[in-house]
Amino acid sequence: MKTVGERIKYFRKKRKMTQEQLAELTGIHPVSIRKYETNKMQPQIEQIERIATTLQVNANAIIGYNGAPTRVDTVGDLMGLLMTLYRARVLLIAGKRNEDFSIEPETARFMINPALSEFFQVLSPNNSENSIDLHNIIFTLNEADCLQDFLTWAVCCWGYEQTKDAFTEQDSSNIIIAETLEELELHMLSISTPLNRYKSDSPYLLGHIPDENTDEYDLLFSEKP
């Protein structure tokens, strides 16, 4: 598992940035940047957030994705969220497998774990009386490169989970698999392409269902421009 310092170094090099440039853009002393990357000093959350913003990644990409990302602003954030859901067995993948267990992208289908069906009901936006069972919803990932990356990672993750108990921590095969898996994760997390946020004036998307007898809505949340 890469350290915080190693992740900072990875994403910095991915952006073709020197330590001095990173220091200048973040306002953090160059000596501190060098100490972070060599694990001689641990950055505080404020420094991590400044570094993450400059390197165009989610702060969790530097800290480590032990949970869902705090925000989903980029494709890398989305990949982190999908990885979290897959590891948690919320997101399932089906498709035609090749001899090496890889999934053919054109056959890949995503679905929500059927075990969650009793907790959620999918309603029609036009008629709330019509509902669909959650496990009947199947979807695909449109972006071909992201789909291929995610399927490669998912198969690698599946293989690692299947074999990790058969190896000791010092076993070279286990180390190679773990390092390959982490490199794939870092690659996906580094995709800085911004997502186009869904815009709507509907009060239903702002956290409050309005009273039909009132003209003004007590909106609980609002989206920052």
Q: What is the CATH number of the domain that holds 18?
A: 1.10.260.40
Q: What is the pLDDT of residues 38-92, one digit of tens each?
A: 999 999 988 999 999 999 988 888 987 654 456 788 888 889 889 989 988 899 9
**Mean pLDDT split into 10-residue runs, the chain, 225 residues:** 90 94 95 95 91 90 67 86 89 89 90 85 71 82 91 86 63 71 88 69 48 44 37
Angle between helices 4-14 and 172-189 (to 10 degrees): 50
pLDDT recorded at residue 215 = 45
**1 and 87 in one domain?**
no
Residue 211 to residue 218: CA distance in whole angstroms:
9
Asked whether residue 209 is domain-assigned, the answer is no
Same-domain status, 181 and 97: yes
Q: How many domains does the chain have?
A: 2
Q: In which order are the strands placed within the sheet that holds 138-139?
A: 91-94, 109-112, 138-139
Q: What's the distance, CA 106 to chain centroid?
A: 22
Q: Per the domain annotation, does 223 fall within a domain?
A: no
Q: Is the domain of 40 the same as that of 142?
A: no
Q: Is residue 163 part of a domain?
A: yes
Task: Compute the distance between CA of residue 55 and CA of residue 191 in angstroms, rounded to an integer.
Answer: 10
Tell me the whole-structure pTM to 2 decimals: 0.66
Contact 121, 140 (CB under 8 A): no
Are 72 and 163 contained in the same domain? yes
Asked if 189 and 57 touch (Cβ cutoff 8 Å), the reply is yes
Is residue 103 located within the same domain as residue 122? yes
Domain span at residue 125? Answer: 66-197
Burial of 34 (0-12, 13-18, 19+ CB in 10 A): middle
Same domain, yes or no: 122 and 137? yes
Q: Do 189 and 7 touch, CB atoms closer than 8 A?
A: no
Task: Give the end of a domain, one of 21, 46, 64.
Answer: 64
For residue 125, give the 3-state DSSP assignment: coil
Is residue 213 included in any domain, yes or no?
no
**20 and 124 share one domain:** no
Which of 64, 84, 118 is the endpoint of a domain? 64
Integer distance in angstroms from the first to the last C-alpha of the chain? 37
Q: How far apart are CA 10 and CA 18, in angstroms?
A: 11
User: 35 in a domain, yes or no?
Assistant: yes
Alpha-carbon distances of 71 from 78, 80, 195, rounded to whole Å: 9, 10, 11
What is the model's pLDDT at position 178?
78
126 and 183 part of one domain: yes
Residue 203 lies in a domain: no
Residues 99 and 52 in one domain: no
Q: Of 17, 32, 64, which marks where a domain is finished?
A: 64
Same domain, 184 and 122: yes
Residue 178 within a domain:
yes
Residue 40 shares a structural domain with residue 92: no
Tokens of 214: 């009132």
Residue 85 shares a structural domain with residue 162: yes
What integer pLDDT is reported at residue 30 of this predicted model?
94
183 within some domain? yes
